[in-house]
């Protein structure tokens, strides 16, 4: 039936006649004879899914791989900050130096990646225009700044020592040596927050998968940061000083696997789906396998330099895979309306079943008592 000359440009009709909008309809139509409607509303376990021509509802953020790389690097920096401070307190000079250098490198490269991903990189300093407690991106910028400040001072001192006191510091050398330890402590204060805030940054969004993980993603991210920084120390530092790094890495592996499993278990099954499918699914599966291997390597062969280095590399890969996997899964969940609609319909139906009927955005009459 052509009613307009332009109809010829329409794409072909979909397969099932009469089911035009790519929707899964309710299996059971409401039965006749019921007039109050509430009973039907409460027994809709099969969530009906419809969309506007399959178009996504929430939008994925315009973030690309540098942001995922930062999730990884921020974790490495945070964990290394703690290792550096521990080494500073327990007199492990090589571990202290390497952890500090690692933290600084990760934080700087990560910071550059973040800036590169901005729409207007030349305005990056606007991140420090205000401190906003409701914005994890704002808090995180300050955390990264504060961490980098302390680490930078400590690293300057380390570099000076590495060069045999040859930085042209003059009388400032004394000052630098004096503030080095407090600077390391200051960095350590912000190390944990640096490792964790990215989890809140992802979760404090309308993104179905990231938001669905909001209660447990922080545990995944600190575990990932612990095993990655432990792994980095195992690569860079002789085994006689890496005992604590290995221990931290092993605890990180256990925490990572456990937190990930628990997180997926607690999420809405549909919101969790992108974590299992496609590239993110593969990354996360490999992350788990390598975590077991790297963890066992650290535990059993950590005193052997080559085994330690190989395990360390594996653990760094584990963390990178976890971050890229979670990142990509979230982007994917925002591109398909199903991940927005189904969990929302389910939670709405659950609240209605529990007798909460006044908080739906869809109403038969306005509900705005404060206006009357």
Q: CA nearest 21: which of 55, 67, 53?
A: 53
Phi-psi category of residue 193: left, alpha or beta, with phi > 0 → left and psi -120 to 50 → alpha: alpha
Judged by CB under 8 A, which of 71, 76, 83, 326 binds other proteins?
A: 83
Give whichever of 26 and 166 is closer to other proteins, judged by the CB atom.
Answer: 26
Which residues, 167 to 206, sit near other proteins by CB under 8 A?
192-193, 195-197, 199-201, 203-206
Q: CA nearest 227: which of 140, 292, 174, 139?
A: 292
Which residues, 295 to 334, sit near other proteins by CB under 8 A?
334
Give whichever of 156 and 224 is closer to other proteins, judged by the CB atom.
Answer: 224
Judged by CB under 8 A, which of 76, 103, 154, 245 binds other proteins?
A: 245
Coil vs helix vs strand at 46: coil
- Whole-angstrom distance, CA of residue 135 vs CA of residue 190: 17
Total Cβ atoms within 10 A of residue 238: 11
Which residues, 108 to 167, sit near other proteins by CB under 8 A?
117-121, 123-124, 126-138, 141
Q: What stretch of H or E contains 86? A: helix 65-90
The first and second tokens of residue 223, run together, are 């575990």
Determine, following the binding rule CB under 8 A, whether residue 228 of this chain makes contact with other proteins: no
Give whichever of 99 and 155 is closer to other proteins, judged by the CB atom.
Answer: 99
Judged by CB under 8 A, which of 180, 264, 337, 339 binds other proteins?
A: 337
Residue 174 Cβ vs other proteins, minimum distance, rounded to whole Å: 29
Give whichever of 19 and 277 is closer to other proteins, judged by the CB atom.
Answer: 19
Give whichever of 206 and 292 is closer to other proteins, judged by the CB atom.
Answer: 206
Residue 22 Cβ vs other proteins, minimum distance, rounded to whole Å: 9
Give whichever of 121 and 278 is closer to other proteins, judged by the CB atom.
Answer: 121
Residue 269: phi and psi, rounded to 5, are -60, -35
* Residue 316 buriedness (CB in 10 A; 0-12 / 13-18 / 19+): buried
Residue 223 Cβ vs other proteins, minimum distance, rounded to whole Å: 8
Stretch that binds other proteins, among 61-69, 152-160, 265-273, 278-286 (CB under 8 A): 61-69
Going along 170-287, which residue ranges are E strands? none
Give whichever of 57 and 167 is closer to other proteins, judged by the CB atom.
Answer: 57
Q: What character string, x for contact with other proteins (CB under 8 A) and - otherwise, covers 14-33?
A: ----x-xx----x--xx---
Q: What is the DSSP string of 304-352?
A: SHHHHHHHHHHHHHHHHHHHHHHHHHHHHHHHSHHHHHHHHHHHHHHHH
Query: How many residues of this chain interact with other proteins, rule: CB under 8 A?
Result: 116
Angle at CA 78, nearest 5°, toward 77 and 84?
85
Residue 86 CB partners (closer than 8 Å, separation 6+): 92, 244
Residue 221 Cβ vs other proteins, minimum distance, rounded to whole Å: 7
Give whichever of 285 and 352 is closer to other proteins, judged by the CB atom.
Answer: 352
Determine, following the binding rule CB under 8 A, whether residue 58 of this chain makes contact with other proteins: yes
Judged by CB under 8 A, which of 3, 13, 15, 16 binds other proteins?
A: 13
Determine, following the binding rule CB under 8 A, whether residue 357 of this chain makes contact with other proteins: yes
- Cβ 230 vs Cβ 246: under 8 Å: yes
- Whole-angstrom distance, CA of residue 137 vs CA of residue 200: 9
């Amino acid at each position: 039936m052509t009613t307009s000359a332009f109809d010829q440009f329409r794409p072909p009709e979909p397969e099932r006649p009469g089911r035009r909008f790519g929707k899964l309809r309710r299996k059971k139509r409401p039965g006749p004879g019921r007039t109050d409607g509430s009973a039907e509303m409460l027994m809709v376990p099969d969530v009906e899914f419809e969309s506007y021509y399959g178009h996504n509802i929430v939008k994925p953020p315009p973030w690309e791989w540098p942001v995922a790389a930062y999730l990884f690097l921020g974790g490495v920096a945070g964990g290394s900050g703690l290792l550096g401070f521990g080494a500073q307190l327990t007199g492990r000079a090589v571990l202290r130096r390497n952890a500090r250098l690692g933290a600084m490198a990760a934080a700087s490269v990560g910071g550059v990646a973040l800036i590169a991903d901005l729409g207007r990189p030349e305005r990056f300093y606007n991140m420090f225009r205000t401190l906003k407690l409701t914005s994890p991106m704002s808090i995180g910028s300050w955390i990264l700044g504060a961490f980098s400040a302390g680490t930078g001072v400590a690293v300057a001192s380390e570099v000076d020592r590495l060069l045999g006191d040859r930085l042209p510091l003059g009388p400032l050398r004394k000052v630098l040596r004096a503030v080095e330890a407090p600077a390391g402590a200051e960095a350590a204060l912000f190390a944990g927050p640096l490792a964790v805030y990215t989890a809140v940054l992802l979760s404090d969004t309308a993104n179905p998968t990231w938001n669905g993980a909001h209660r447990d993603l922080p545990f995944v991210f600190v575990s990932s940061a612990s095993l990655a920084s432990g792994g980095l120390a195992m690569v860079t530092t002789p085994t006689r000083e890496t005992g604590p790094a290995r221990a931290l890495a092993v605890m990180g592996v256990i925490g990572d696997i456990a937190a990930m499993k628990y997180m997926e278990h607690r999420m809405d099954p549909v919101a969790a789906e992108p974590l299992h499918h496609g590239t993110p699914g593969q990354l996360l599966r490999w992350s788990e396998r390598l975590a077991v291997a790297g963890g066992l390597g650290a535990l059993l062969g950590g005193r052997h330099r080559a085994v330690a280095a190989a395990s360390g590399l594996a653990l760094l890969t584990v963390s990178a895979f976890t971050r890229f996997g979670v990142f990509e899964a979230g982007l994917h969940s925002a591109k398909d309306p199903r991940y927005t609609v189904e969990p929302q319909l389910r939670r709405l139906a659950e609240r209605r079943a529990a007798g909460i009927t006044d908080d739906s955005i869809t109403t038969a009459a306005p509900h705005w008592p404060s206006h009357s």
